[in-house]
Amino acid sequence: TELVRRIKRYQIANSSCLLVKYIKDDRYSSEEVSTHDRHTCPAVATANLYSLSATAKKYEVIGIDEGQFFPDCVKFCEEMAN
């Protein structure tokens, strides 16, 4: 819920946002991140964050849902932040 709230806040401020979700998490949707009370936000699904490196560099804000499922999460985040 907090991730969706923050992404929507950045979108309202006209920041370009990329929301990423784990590809095997398709409980509510394969193309959106959803809160438990069904607030949704469009997302890109992947199993490996580095597969989105070229795309991610085009965005100002990157949100990662369920980061613990991505083995490359820490390294990817550090690289994107720098």
Q: Which amino acid is at 65?
A: D
The H or E element spanning position 40 is strand 40-42
32 is known as an active-site residue: no
Task: From the candidates 32, 66, 78, 79, give the one annotated as an active-site residue.
Answer: 66
Contact status, residue 44 vs residue 52, Cβ threshold 8 Å: yes
Determine contact, residues 41/23, Cβ cutoff 8 Å: no
The token pair at 59 is 């965005």
| Positions marked active-site | 66
